[in-house]
Amino acid sequence: SKMTVKAVKMPCTSANVYTKVPDGGWGWTVAFAFFVVEALTYGIIKSFGVFFNDLMESFDETNSRISWIISICVFVQTFTAPLSTVLSNRFGHRLVVMAGGLLVSAGMVIASFARSVVDMYVTIGIVSGLGYCLSFLPTVTILSQYFDKRRSLVTAVASTGECFAVFSFAPAITALKEQIGWRYSMLSVGVLQLSITACGSLLRPIVIREQEEVKAQPAEESTETKYMLENEQTCTSIESIDSGVDITTSPSNVPGKTKAEPKSEEPKQHGQNPVENNSTPPEPKTKLLDFSVMRDYSFICYAFFGLFATLGFFAPSLYIIPLSRSLGISKDHSAYILSAMAIAEVFGRIFAGWVLNKKPIRKIYIELICVILLSVALVAFPFASGFWGLMICSVYFGFMLGTVAGTHIPLLAEDDVVGIERMSSAAGVYVFIQSLAGLAGPPLAGVLVDTTKNYSSAFYSCAAGMVLGAMFLALVRPCKTGLCHHHHQQQQQQQQVEESTAGPPPELPDDFIDMDIGKAENSGKGSDSV
């Protein structure tokens, strides 16, 4: 049998060609790139609090106005997710991530010269926020395409870069500020974030081609054309090759690969059956942003899960220190509680990846159990008293948060939600919907805290959102198989009827009848002449 990897000695700018999902290979390099990108995006966002006091003193602004810098940044990052999907499908993941790294670095560097908080809103909030979106989402998408059986474990482990960044960046930036000041420290962070561009250059597009394609057997067409991205009419367009997975039976769709596989071209030139059969399937998916996922009931339920669950992601990190201070815990001990939460999140991400990597297992149900346990953790915070009570709740919450935060986006690639073929578009729409909760969540919790004069109300509101998210998550699997199964069957039957009435097959019996009539007439004339 042939090797799985079709092209190994290609330059870093070329696509990787496999006969199946490799579950390794260059995917390990992509996983490392995602680890670094995660650290330099979400890790920096979570560590930005070390600049808060300096910014308030330099600009003479309140804490709420300074906090809007990160709020705008996170909102822009999630709101522009569909744009990231469109650009990735058009220009490829590599170029988009590299451009995102330039925007992230430029925004942070220019922000170090800001003279007002409004300048920070534009530089870090909008410029860097857009760069964070263009850097993170395409990286996690292409990483999911390199792995199948190990997808959950690899993605969960690689996503711990965010947690390790919180450990290292916060104390490092604090120590650096004491030596060179906050402006040059922010400038140094911006230069460091330029490494995202280098990570983006490692994101080789992956091309998957069936090994049996050289045989040109029509029997294989039913499985191969299921994943066709280009047919005979669009095979001359190779602009989407760099955007991710391309499973095709046409060697012309892989630029620069004709020399590596000279034997596979001759059967395609002499055997025209694959090309002729490729014209019969429906139009291939070449849309820059496929909004058809919005007609999928399972994805709609999963999107509502992400919308409400996002309300519960931010509360402990924002309010654990004020809550602990209100209980009489010192500032240093309050910081220890937050650090313990981050450490527990690392173990939670790794544990979730290990569990979801087991087979046979229904991953959507494991995610549901983790969300329910995460809701319990949010409810437990208001009942905690003293340092050790909050410490236990924080460790428990951090662990459960890791199980959900590190897996909810990669689960889009599972067949219970949308599948790997539509993950790129689904991830853009999913994160876009999350942005609504990310923008409304913190102000809503702040209003409740100001109204009740109690930080416990923020945790209750987030727990309520998490419970609603669990309810929608529980409907994902039934919508995919049970409740909407009859509806999907009707749609498939309707499509089959339309294809049978509109296509050329109904004309075949008429041809055969004409041929039979012609034969009968000829035989009749022959008998008369005799």
pLDDT at 354 over 70: yes
Q: Provide the pLDDT for residue 21.
A: 75
Count of CB atoms situated within 10 Å of the CB of 522:
10
Kindly give the pairing relationship between strand 16-18 and strand 206-208.
Answer: parallel
Whether 257 maps to a domain, the answer reads no
Query: For 197-206, 257-266, 392-401, 435-444, which range has the lowest pLDDT when averaged over its residues?
Result: 257-266
For residues 324 and 414, state if they share a domain.
yes
Whether 184 maps to a domain, the answer reads yes
Higher-pLDDT residue of 124, 216: 124
Whether 511 maps to a domain, the answer reads no
- When the pLDDT of each residue in the chain is averaged and rounded to a whole number, the result is 74
Which residue type does 310 have? Answer: T
Q: Provide the pLDDT for residue 267.
A: 38
Euclidean distance between CA atoms 138 and 115, whole angstroms: 33
For residues 50 and 181, state if they share a domain.
yes
3-state SS, residue 16? strand
For residues 294 and 207, state if they share a domain.
no
Q: Provide the pLDDT for residue 227.
A: 41
Whether 45 maps to a domain, the answer reads yes
For residues 365 and 458, state if they share a domain.
yes
Phi, psi (5° rounding) for residue 5?
A: -85, 120
| DSSP, res 284 | P
Nearest C-alpha neighbor of 418 from the set 479, 346, 493, 486: 479
For residues 99 and 197, state if they share a domain.
yes
Query: For 4-18, 245-259, 417-431, which range has the lowest pLDDT when averaged over its residues?
Result: 245-259
Q: Provide the pLDDT for residue 232.
A: 42
Whether 5 maps to a domain, the answer reads no
CATH number assigned to the domain comprising residue 30: 1.20.1250.20
Residue that is last in its domain, among 211, 236, 263:
211
Contact indicator for 261, 251 with CB cutoff of 8 Å: yes
For residues 201 and 336, state if they share a domain.
no
pTM above 0.85, yes or no: no
What secondary structure, in 3-state letters, does 474-514 show?
Answer: HCHHHHHHCCCHHHHHHHHHHHHHHHHHHCCCCHHHHHHHH
pLDDT (tens digit per residue) in 84-111: 888 888 888 899 999 999 999 999 999 9
For residues 479 and 346, state if they share a domain.
yes
For residues 66 and 200, state if they share a domain.
yes
For residues 204 and 299, state if they share a domain.
no
For residues 175 and 60, state if they share a domain.
yes
For residues 201 and 324, state if they share a domain.
no
Query: For 206-215, 257-266, 305-314, which range has the lowest pLDDT when averaged over its residues?
Result: 257-266
With tokens 């916060």, the residue in question is 170
3-state SS, residue 312? helix
Whether 313 maps to a domain, the answer reads yes
Q: Provide the pLDDT for residue 242.
A: 41
For residues 43 and 161, state if they share a domain.
yes
Query: Left (φ > 0), alpha (ψ -120 to 50) or beta: where does 24 sit?
Result: left
Euclidean distance between CA atoms 198 and 256, whole angstroms: 23
Q: Which two tokens stand for residue 186?
A: 């922010």
Q: Which two tokens stand for residue 478?
A: 């039934």
* Cα radius of gyration rounded to whole Å, the chain: 28
Residue that is last in its domain, among 211, 229, 251:
211
Q: Provide the pLDDT for residue 195.
A: 93
Euclidean distance between CA atoms 213 and 205, whole angstroms: 20
CA distances from 36 to 136, 145, 431, 496 (A): 10, 18, 21, 48
Q: Provide the pLDDT for residue 234.
A: 42
Residue that is last in its domain, among 211, 227, 246:
211
Q: Provide the pLDDT for residue 215.
A: 46
Nearest C-alpha neighbor of 142 from the set 273, 33, 10, 271: 33
Higher-pLDDT residue of 355, 106: 106
Contact indicator for 380, 413 with CB cutoff of 8 Å: no
Whether 165 maps to a domain, the answer reads yes
Higher-pLDDT residue of 409, 33: 33
Q: Provide the pLDDT for residue 359.
A: 66
Euclidean distance between CA atoms 371 and 393, whole angstroms: 15
Query: For 252-266, 292-306, 319-333, 454-468, which range has the lowest pLDDT when averaged over its residues?
Result: 252-266
Contact indicator for 204, 95 with CB cutoff of 8 Å: no
Whether 256 maps to a domain, the answer reads no
Query: For 82-86, 285-289, 458-462, which range has the lowest pLDDT when averaged over its residues?
Result: 285-289
Contact indicator for 409, 431 with CB cutoff of 8 Å: yes
**Domains identified in the chain, total number:** 2
Q: Which two tokens stand for residue 337?
A: 């509680």
| DSSP, res 212 | G
With tokens 């039934």, the residue in question is 478
Nearest C-alpha neighbor of 123 from the set 109, 144, 102, 136: 109
Phi, psi (5° rounding) for residue 40?
A: -90, -5
Q: Which domain holds residue 448?
A: 289-488
